[in-house]
Amino acid sequence: SIGITVSPNTAGKLLKKLGFSLKVNHKKIASGGKSRSRKEQRHRNEQFRYISEQRESYARKGHPSISVDTKKKELIGNFKNPGATYRRGPREVNDHDFSSYSTGKGIPYGIYDTQRNKGMVFVGTTSDTADFAVDCIEKWWCKEGQMQYSSSNCILILADSGGSNGSRCRRWTLGIQEKLCDRHHLDVTVAHYPPGTSKWNPIEHRLFGEISKNWAGTPLETFETMLKFIRTTKTTTGLKVKAYLVRKKYEKGNKVPDGQLAQIKLERHTNFPNWNYTITPRKM
């Protein structure tokens, strides 16, 4: 200090001349930060390359590749929704986000067709479980997939490593076996993104991000309001989205016994077998 007193405005002007400005934190450092080992970093990059190769192979052969995930759960009611809208005055919403003030909770599970730039979202009303996730994918196949890819008998699914479609979830692999492979005679290959890298899953920025922009600043007062915003989500690149409400009740905690797990016809890939595997139909 040299004993010169200046006003905040003057300090701000001096900082601006020196190239300073107000900045926010950016999430750029992968999970683990500097402590991430070179081996982990290499494995992550190699898995990204492997997923890219799988997608290119499926696209070249005319087979579907879909990106799936659960979007953030939303309270249904007059709650604040981040963002801003053009209005003459601010909209008054509940001062607290108490679930007791809501009429329910919307759980959007999305399927994004990476080749056709089309999305389908199923809004659940109970719990985000593996059974719910697989049911949504089967509904996508019945409503759209089997018509758009009528000559295909295989699907590539891109998913995160955790949650209802996690790489260690027994109900997830059992559901794929029973509801996709056995029921629809499909070979299903699943490629999981490494832990902490979910934002690279295409559905996050190509579908969910656009939905969030579309309903920004508007309370999701009813399930129909939520569905309307999802259905009207579009982009200049041609994104179109369909949405459906799922009122079926899903219970957490359903287990898969070892004996039932052993009957799943699952073959793990040589490349990162915990993240990549193919499940094929069983002879009935």
- Cα distance between residue 225 and residue 228, in whole Å: 5
pLDDT category of residue 33 using cuts at 50, 70 and 90: very low
- Cα distance between residue 203 and residue 137, in whole Å: 14
pLDDT one-digit tens code per residue, 106-165: 999 999 999 999 999 999 999 999 999 999 999 999 999 999 999 999 999 999 999 999
Are 216 and 94 in contact by the 8 Å Cβ rule? The answer is: no
Q: What is the mean pLDDT of the chain?
A: 92
Q: pTM score, two decimals?
A: 0.86
DSSP 179: I
- Cα distance between residue 32 and residue 43, in whole Å: 14
Contacts of 138 by beta carbon, 8 Å cutoff, 6+ apart = 179, 180, 183, 184
**Structure-token pair, residue 180:** 């996709």
CA dihedral angle for residue 189, residue 193, residue 198, residue 202, rounded to 10 degrees: -50
DSSP 109: E
Are 159 and 193 in contact by the 8 Å Cβ rule? The answer is: yes
Contacts of 22 by beta carbon, 8 Å cutoff, 6+ apart = none
pLDDT one-digit tens code per residue, 61-109: 999 999 999 999 999 999 988 887 777 778 888 878 888 878 999 999 9
What are the φ and ψ backbone dihedral angles of 245, each rounded to 5 degrees? -95, 135
**In whole angstroms, how large is the CA radius of gyration of the chain?**
23
Closest listed residue to residue 53, CA positions, set 273, 271, 280, 278: 271
Flag whether pLDDT at 170 surpasses 80: yes
**Structure-token pair, residue 40:** 């982990």
**Average pLDDT of the residues in 229-233:** 98
Per residue in 204-219, is it b (16+ CB within 10 Å) or e — as a string? bebbbebbbebbeeeb
pLDDT one-digit tens code per residue, 189-229: 999 999 999 999 999 999 999 999 999 999 999 999 999 99
